[in-house]
Structure 1
């Protein structure tokens, strides 16, 4: 596995990659952008990339522009050596490990999230968050120039906005959505789970339980959005709920669930830790 830290070095290395490894013909590049503290969810993304591409590139970069003032940038979990080992064991060809000064300049051109879809749900409480997400993803995609880029469905709004950016900027990369990976008890895997105390972790299970109840209601024929959300909020109590929403896959408001075109989303705080989860129906 080759570890590279600067954009120019990576672009130069990829330009000469075929000669270096003796590869002939068209090759596909699978890219998995991460913020490190890798877990089984990230490994699943890497495995999906490995199955479909000749070259797999993973980036680890804790992006400062997507953190708002007072958020956990300095405390965000970093496990650099463990992450390198995980990437190596998972069959990653290139690990891109830049510093903030390699990615950002003092006077930056920025990508702005759309006025509606970027400022609802998570964007309501974190109004400039998705500006930072889209800017760094645009930069990373331009550096790596992948055939396919892999993102988890757990961050559904982020996935939707990245897909929208790729479409509206006429970018050639294919965005691949990968199912959420869960613990045995149903808790969605997240790098932030390490913040949870033993008691808070039990409380966090209310999030996946609320989604399970919603799916159960749908299987019994209940499709009214207000009724489902009301029941979910009861299950989530007394957690601090940021939102419980049921939308179509274009993130538009609906009155009734349409199987095959619906996402049920939850964001809640457990202690001081903000957790996201969803199911795609």
Structure 2
């Protein structure tokens, strides 16, 4: 496995493989790799000849009061996981390499970034869009894989790639979970023992919303109340948002119809957790009809 730290060297490697007709895959990460990342790497490997995993803790997607300085950076473990999975290139640039003196360009999306995470973390998606654009321009992947846990981010990248004609195929892999339903996240290591026991309440709330839709409830107010009541039963958890929205636009809905997303974010102590479930709601209620709990977009 090659380790590349210089953006120019990454671009040279990519150009050479493109000339040779080699298909390139990319899994962008901020490191602290876990089994969820391993699943993304394995998914990407199925669609490419050469695989790049980027490890870069992007300062531009952290707010002033967020956890940039204490974000986990176990690079030796990340390198070992990538080597074990047969990654061809581990791209690990420094902050100064990605944002040299005089850097002033930003990439921003207007509609998809303005709600939910965009409201709670106003500068987050501008930082995500900027660094993803740089990575796509440097690596020039044919396929790039993101996890569904960060569903709003995945939609944003899909829109970014389409709007700027960046050419990559964006694949969204289903959320990987612990046995109790907690979505895998690098930030889970911050949870104390008591907080870890409380953390699956977010998934339970989303499942309660899904069950409400499955039972025939379509009103957003009722679905939202059920999800909020579930979280309220856990004293360690505070809700940032629990929402029913259109799965493609993320606009809030008054009634569940078509493809919908149940989005949630909670805080447990200083740890912020996000999650989602996708639901396909039948157009008309039919005897014996079923509602699918989506773990992947099916456009």
Taking structure 2 as the reference length, the TM-score comes to 0.88
The aligned counterpart of 1:255 is 254
SS in 2 for 1:155: helix
The aligned counterpart of 1:233 is 228
Q: Give the drift of 1:219.
A: 1.7
Q: Give the drift of 1:217.
A: 1.4
- In the TM superposition, 1:18-37 aligns within 5 A as 26-37=21-32
Greater CA drift, 235-244 or 135-144: 235-244
The match for 1:82 among 56, 74, 77 is 77
Distance in 2 between residues matched to 1:17 and 1:241, nearest whole Å? 47
What is the CA deviation profile of residues 5-45 of structure 1, one whole-angstrom value per residue up to 9, with x for unaligned ones? 111111222333489xxxx6x32111000000000110010
Asked if the contact 1:113–1:161 (Cα under 8 Å) also holds between the matched residues in 2, the reply is no
Q: Give the drift of 1:118.
A: 1.5
The aligned counterpart of 1:278 is 276
Runs of 4+ displaced beyond 4 Å: none
- In the TM superposition, 1:1-281 aligns within 5 A as 1-17=1-17, 26-237=21-232, 238=235, 239-249=237-247, 250-259=249-258, 261-281=259-279
Point out where structure 1 has 5 or more consecutive residues left out of the alignment. Answer: none
Distance in 1 between residues matched to 2:14 and 2:109, nearest whole Å? 32
Taking structure 1 as the reference length, the TM-score comes to 0.94
Greater CA drift, 111-120 or 126-135: 111-120
Asked if the contact 1:186–1:205 (Cα under 8 Å) also holds between the matched residues in 2, the reply is yes
- The size of the alignment, in residue pairs, is 275
Distance in 2 between residues matched to 1:170 and 1:18, nearest whole Å? 17
Asked if the contact 1:269–1:275 (Cα under 8 Å) also holds between the matched residues in 2, the reply is yes
Point out where structure 2 has 5 or more consecutive residues left out of the alignment. Answer: 280-299
Q: Give the drift of 1:117.
A: 2.8
Asked if the contact 2:147–2:154 (Cα under 8 Å) also holds between the matched residues in 1, the reply is yes
What is the CA deviation profile of residues 115-152 of structure 1, one whole-angstrom value per residue up to 9, with x for unaligned ones? 34322111112111111111000001100000011001
Distance in 2 between residues matched to 1:64 and 1:159, nearest whole Å? 19
What is the CA deviation profile of residues 198-251 of structure 1, one whole-angstrom value per residue up to 9, with x for unaligned ones? 100111111011011112112211122211110100111142111111111211
